[in-house]
Structure 1
Amino acid sequence: MIQQIQIVGIALIMLALLHLIFPRYFNWKKELAGLSIINREMMIVHTFFIALTVLLMGVLCISSANELTETTLGKRLAAGIGLFWFIRWIVQFTGYSSVNWKGKRFETAVHVFFSLFWTYVTVLFWWVAFS
């Protein structure tokens, strides 16, 4: 279980770093130009803090896997992290239109991959929390 937590930690750090390419990949300079300043800034700032949260979760998983699995506080943190990723799993299906991925090979693969990843991470953390 500890090794799985650490592997998820590495994956979360990689996911956090992936956010660095979002502005270029999603062409934010052009796409966000029509937004008001506050909406443009909120998009950028919120993306930064999501990436930071995911990064810190990854660091926690790598540095404190034993504590997450062995202590009461760790199990409570694992329950909260599991809840976070479960809500993210729900948003995968309710927050994004299927127009974004249906009929598009790469986007469908990304959708399926992250749907499975959110499922795995949720189950893993809840397993740790409630076992």
Structure 2
Amino acid sequence: MELHLKIIGTLLSLLAFIHISFPKYFNWKTELKSLSLINKQMMAVHTFFIALVVFLIGLLCLTSSNELVHTSLGKKISLGLGVFWILRLVFQLFVYSPKLWKGKKFETTMHIVFTFFWIYMSTLFFMIYLK
């Protein structure tokens, strides 16, 4: 399980850094033009903090995999992370509209990749907790 945590840690760290490209990729300069200043800044700030949390979870998995698997506190943290990622999976499947990805090759691929990634993480964290 520790190897899986290190894999997840690496992937989450990469995902965190990918957030840097979001404003350009999603064309926020144009797309958010009509928003008020507070809403524009909330998008930027929330994206930063989402990326930071994803990075810190990745760092935790990379540096503390043994503790997550073998200690009572680690198992409780794993339960929390399992809940977090299962909720992210629910949002992936039932909150985001299929119109965002259906019929679009790249978007469909990303939808499938991230669906399996959320399943992988949720399953692993719950397995750690239950072990």
Q: Which category describes the TM-score, using the shorter chain as reference length?
A: over 0.9
- How far off is 1:38 after superposition? 1.0
- How far off is 1:127 after superposition? 0.4
Provide the aligned length of Structure 1 versus Structure 2.
131
**AA in 2 matched with 1:72:** S
Tell me the residue number matched to 1:11.
Answer: 11
Question: SS in structure 2 opposite 1:33?
Answer: coil
- How far off is 1:94 after superposition? 2.0
TM-score when normalising by structure 1: 0.98
Tell me, in whole angstroms, the C-alpha distance in 1 between the residues paired with 2:17 and 2:95. Answer: 22
Tell me the residue number matched to 1:27.
Answer: 27
Tell me the residue number matched to 1:41.
Answer: 41
Match status 1:64 vs 2:37: no
Tell me, in whole angstroms, the C-alpha distance in 2 between the residues paired with 1:47 and 1:129. Answer: 29
Tell me the residue number matched to 1:104.
Answer: 104
- How far off is 1:93 after superposition? 1.5
Deviation >3 Å, runs of 4+ = none
Tell me, in whole angstroms, the C-alpha distance in 2 between the residues paired with 1:45 and 1:101. Answer: 25
1:80-95 map, 5 Å: 80-95=80-95
Tell me, in whole angstroms, the C-alpha distance in 2 between the residues paired with 1:52 and 1:125. Answer: 20
**Which deviations, in whole Å up to 9, do the C-alpha atoms of 1:69-115 show, x marking residues without a partner?**
00000000000011110000000012211111000111000000000
* Aligned-residue CA RMSD (Å): 0.6
Question: SS in structure 2 opposite 1:103?
Answer: coil
Tell me the residue number matched to 1:129.
Answer: 129
| Runs of 5+ unmatched residues, structure 1 | none
Tell me, in whole angstroms, the C-alpha distance in 1 between the residues paired with 2:34 and 2:98. Answer: 24
